[in-house]
Structure 1
Amino acid sequence: MTRVLLLGGYGGFGGRIAQRLAAAGHEVLVAGRSIDKARAFCERTPGLIPLALDRSQIAAALEEHRPDMVVDASGPFQAMDYAIPTVCIAAGVHYVDIADSRDFVCGIQALNDAARRAGVVLLSGASSVPALSGAAVRYLAKGMDRVRAVEMAISASNRATAGPAVSAAILGQVGQPLRIWRGQRWAQAFGWQEMRPARFRCAGTEPIIGRNVALVDVPDLALLPERLTGRPAVSFRAGTELRFQNWALWLASWLVRTRFIKTLAPVAHILRPLQSLTRSLGGDRSAMVVRLFGDVAGKRVERRWTLIADQGDGPEIPTLSVAPIITRILSGQEAAGARDAGEALTLADYANAFGKLAIHHDMGTRCAAAAVRAGNGRSLQTTPRRGTRDS
């Protein structure tokens, strides 16, 4: 039996990961600062072991418990250094995290030489980005002679209340400058600006319309221009279900952009209770779309992959990459070293998990003028002329 030390193991995302790993036959040390919360969580599921652990105690914990793998689901990674993966290298223990911080995920490669010498695998970003988004992009890019643009968006259900770490990460981006590759040059943009309408259509379920999404900083903005033929322009947008929340973040972004205030991160603890009060106003549906614009045999085409999660299963999506990545590492399919998780999985690796949840996903293609108009970035609308389900 494989032993996994899971940091943040009883949190919103960590708890879901713990249950998935236990169901897969792993012994999971559910670690956090509160032993009472850890015990209460572990009572529900066999194979989970509560552990009181502060991040500063990780070296001693590795020595005492001898895990085969460390999974970090704590966050917010925007404020973290590489102390944990560095300790894992020293102890000869594999490491995976669910970071979506651009700097953290892209920067972990600095540990590559040390990880290779120690014979361990460090993979950062085993989450919606860049693991799942990267799998979708690579699938869509197959057979393209050139990729001109990549547009991605996520819209979360209002009932998918973010935990403290996620809330701090979101608010910390509002109004902050970010570098975005426009296709010809690097340009400066700002978090939660350039808002657009988004519609998500997917076979097997009702479409999601009437939502807004705005720019956010994710690892894909740095990774994909270098990995795709043609160095395409890349954008990533996110938003909440309720329009007034998106507009409030957009308005607040100007306060930060103009340096009237430095950051919204410190007010996360104030806004979370307010967000909880509005949960009844929204539904339980979340969505994600990845669109590629490019050339195939001399023709302009648009390809898109859309995912819609019903019945409140949206928060499961950021957790689905961890289990298959651990399987790959333990089976020797991942070479030793430190890198992002954007090339670790394929869409087929998610098929089993998708099939057990209320998740619908499909593909679509558009040709010629329609793709050119959409590629000009006027909206994020996903209405394919024909769609095929990918399994």
Structure 2
Amino acid sequence: MKIVVVGGYGVFGSRLAELLLRDGHSVWVAGRSLEKAQELTNVIGGHPLEVDVRATPDKVLQPRPDVVIDATGPFKGNQDSAYHLPRLCLAAAVDYLDLSDNADFTSGISILDEAARKQGRRLLSGASSVPGLSSIVAAELCRGYDEILLIDIAILPGNRAPRGAAVIASIVGQMGTLSPVWRGGVWRKQRIWTDAKRVSLDQGLTRTGYLIEVPDIRLFPKFFQARSVVFRAGMELGLLNMALRSLGWVRRTWPFDVSPQCVRLMQWCANCLLRFGSDRGGMSVTVVGARELLSVSVIGD
């Protein structure tokens, strides 16, 4: 297949491009910097493609791809304009998927579902750890349950895990805000990076997780008919968790936009701490039924 990976030289895009090439696909590494795309393709193979999806999105279609994968981020909002790239792919009869972890964006792409079905095209949002992997695990655990009381998920990466600017922007942009949460069959509002809980993973790994907004919170209540859905995330270093809580307090008192310059500064600060902690992290998915509790932990090194 011919596949264009937008943001293909980023943290997740580059790994994805490498795996697709390994599987025998023709891959175009696309992004605003032709130089960075060329540097990566010189190492892993594939073709560089200069594309600014906000200014010249049509260039994504130059290679006549079968699939376009958007790995840029941060994905924002569910306004009609947010879905320009998937609409463009739909009009050109090209399949589309993205790595969005934004609740509004991923849940909102359903506005294109009818059009995609009529054309027989695939438009998939959230093909990442959440809600892609988390939903697969939850679906397996929920199998056979007549009543699901709780789906409780936590993702807890190691401090040395790769983190791109888009991931940092997504997390930092939520600090100080309120998120809708589904508890006891009722939608409520709760402050991001609160509701701390110690989460035990396999192999003696225990971390603290905090409430954060992801697509799972919006999608799982209806899909799984669960009474409550909880999602937490947490950093390995307590210092970073404390910094995020402090940032949340500042943004509540003094609301400000998280600019690209702010994200770069925070990324630099986080990278200064890379020598501490480990590269061990994991995801925990727990499903509580009326008569039984099932839990799965996935550890990554």
Same fold (TM over 0.5): yes
1:197 match: secondary structure: strand
Whether 2:205 is the aligned partner of 1:208: answer yes
1:10–1:38 contact (8 Å) kept in structure 2:
yes
| Pair 1:184–1:116, CA change in 2 (3 A) | closer
1:256 CA displacement = 2.5
TM-score if structure 1 supplies the norm length? Answer: 0.73
List gaps (5 residues or longer) in structure 1. Answer: 311-391
Q: How far apart, in 2, do the equivalents of 1:157 and 1:182 lie?
A: 29
For residue 316 of structure 1, what is the aligned residue in structure 2? none
Whether 2:38 is the aligned partner of 1:44: answer no
1:161–1:275 contact (8 Å) kept in structure 2:
no
List gaps (5 residues or longer) in structure 2. Answer: none
1:238 CA displacement = 0.3
Q: Number of paired residues?
A: 296
1:96–1:124 contact (8 Å) kept in structure 2:
yes
Whether 2:63 is the aligned partner of 1:72: answer no
Whether 2:288 is the aligned partner of 1:255: answer no
1:253 CA displacement = 1.5
1:193 match: secondary structure: coil
Question: CA RMSD for the aligned pairs?
Answer: 1.5
| Pair 1:265–1:308, CA change in 2 (3 A) | farther
Q: How does 1:169-180 map to 2 (within 5 A)?
A: 169-180=170-181
1:233 to 202, 205, 228: 228
1:40 CA displacement = 0.9
For residue 307 of structure 1, what is the aligned residue in structure 2? 298
For residue 13 of structure 2, what is the aligned residue in structure 1? 14
1:174–1:264 contact (8 Å) kept in structure 2:
no
Q: How does 1:46-125 map to 2 (within 5 A)?
A: 46=45, 48-55=46-53, 56-62=55-61, 64-78=62-76, 81-125=82-126
Q: How far apart, in 2, do the equivalents of 1:60 and 1:272 lie?
A: 30
1:19–1:45 contact (8 Å) kept in structure 2:
yes
Q: How does 1:1-391 map to 2 (within 5 A)?
A: 2-46=1-45, 48-55=46-53, 56-62=55-61, 64-78=62-76, 81-201=82-202, 206-209=203-206, 211-229=207-225, 231-257=226-252, 259-264=253-258, 267-295=262-290, 300-310=291-301
1:130 CA displacement = 0.9
Q: How far apart, in 1, do the equivalents of 2:57 and 2:254 lie?
A: 39
Spell out structure 1 runs of 4+ moving beyond 3 A.
262-266
Percent sequence identity is 38
Deviations 1:36-56 (A, max 9, x none): 11111011223x111111113
1:28 match: secondary structure: strand
Q: How far apart, in 1, do the equivalents of 2:259 and 2:229 lie?
A: 26
Q: How far apart, in 1, do the equivalents of 2:279 and 2:66 lie?
A: 36
1:264 CA displacement = 4.7
2:173 match: secondary structure: helix
Q: How far apart, in 2, do the equivalents of 1:254 and 1:61 lie?
A: 40
TM-score if structure 2 supplies the norm length? Answer: 0.94
Q: How far apart, in 1, do the equivalents of 2:84 and 2:199 lie?
A: 39
Q: How far apart, in 2, do the equivalents of 1:193 and 1:256 lie?
A: 14
1:192 CA displacement = 1.1
1:189 match: secondary structure: strand
Larger RCO of the pair (alpha carbons < 8 Å, separation 6+): 1
Q: How far apart, in 2, do the equivalents of 1:39 and 1:268 lie?
A: 25
2:51–2:59 contact (8 Å) kept in structure 1:
no
Letter in 2 for 1:8: G
1:256 match: secondary structure: helix
1:175–1:193 contact (8 Å) kept in structure 2:
no
Q: How far apart, in 2, do the equivalents of 1:5 and 1:61 lie?
A: 7
